[in-house]
Structure 1
Amino acid sequence: MNATRSPEHDHAEADARLAAALRERGQRVTSQRLVIGRLLRELDRHVTAEEVLRRASEQLPGVSLPTVYATLDLLAELGEARRVSVGGPVLYDPRTEDHAHLRCRSCGAVFDVDVPFDTAVALRAAREAGFAPEAAEVVVEGLCADCAAAARG
């Protein structure tokens, strides 16, 4: 029998995983943390803390921007999100596996691109230079299809 999982089941499973990660780290499991984690997963794209705040305010009246930032950073530390710095505002990405990003230098849009890459060489060179690297990102900058088409006229 082929049973399909409901979105509610997936949300409950993800909430339980987040709650366990919070407890394991000695953090409190709060409704704000669970709601912000769920919103990030539901938006399923690169978002700013301000975007999450607008959405979270619907469910959490009175939630503040510092709380949203702190929660998103905590989610990134727990491996439930990625903090992406590609110029401009910091973005939070619900995709946690390694992947590269494309950033349009005209409109600022950021897209995922799935290509094989190995950051080990860059991390090793950083260590050899006395740097204590935590992660490496691959960001390709240029013009997105819309901006490139507009530039051509």
Structure 2
Amino acid sequence: MEKIRKKKRNTKQKAVVYQVVLDSHDHPTAEKVYERARKELPTISLGTVYRVLKELVSEGKIREIVVNKQSHFEGRTDFHHHFICRECGKIEDVETPLCRYTCKKVEDKGYVVEDVEYKFYGLCSKCAQKLGILEERAVQV
């Protein structure tokens, strides 16, 4: 028996959630997306936001980044990396050719790369400065 594929509808809720993610540059959690979406659609539920985010990820329209078992979302779907501050939790995009070079090497062996995710962990400049770590490293050099 052939499976009946459910056509995914483009609803107002989906459009709003998608736009919230596209407009966010801080890699928000589902709860943050929900808070922001409610400004446009006060009746939207958290469950709807979770469902729509999952749908958008499966359609390849947004990307999910899991950090410490917590999902974050972003509108960028191109190959890039992330830096995660272990102190404040800030997630920043990192541009580097490392990913493309590594993919090419893997694909040269006949593999098909569908997705890559590098995460760098450490301290952002604000937290490093607050903790006095930048000054310590400058003295050591």
TM range (shorter): 0.7 to 0.9
- Count of aligned pairs between the two proteins: 122
1:71 paired with 2:58, answer no
Q: Which deviations, in whole Å up to 9, do the C-alpha atoms of 1:29-56 show, x marking residues without a partner?
A: 1110011111111223311111111111
User: Could you say which residue in structure 1 is the equivalent of 2:17?
Assistant: 36
Q: Which amino acid aligns with 1:152?
A: G
The alpha-carbon deviation at position 69 of structure 1 amounts to 1.2
Q: Could you list the runs of 4 or more consecutive aligned residues of structure 1 that deviate by over 6 angstroms after TM superposition? A: 121-124
Distance verdict in 2 for CA 1:142–1:122, change over 3 Å: farther
The 1-side partners of 2:69 and 2:85 are apart by: 11
Q: Which of 89, 98, 104 is the matching residue for 2:79?
A: 98
CA distance in 1, matches of 2:22, 2:9: 20
Output the TM-score relative to the length of structure 2.
Answer: 0.76
Report the residue type matching 1:102 in the other structure.
Answer: F
Gaps of 5+ in 1: 1-24
Percentage identity across aligned positions?
34
Cα root mean square deviation, aligned? 2.4
Kept in 2: contact 1:86–1:139 (CA 8 A): no
The structural deviation recorded for 1:122 is 9.9
- Please name the residue that 1:50 is paired with: 31
Deviation at 1:61, TM superposition (A): 2.0
What is the identity, as a one-letter code, of the residue corresponding to 1:137?
E
| 1:140 aligned onto 2:125 | no
What's the offset of the Cα at 1:63?
Answer: 1.2
Give the unaligned 5+ runs of structure 2: 1-5, 134-141
Map of 2:8 onto structure 1:
27
In 2, the alpha carbon distance for the partners of 1:63 and 1:44 equals: 22
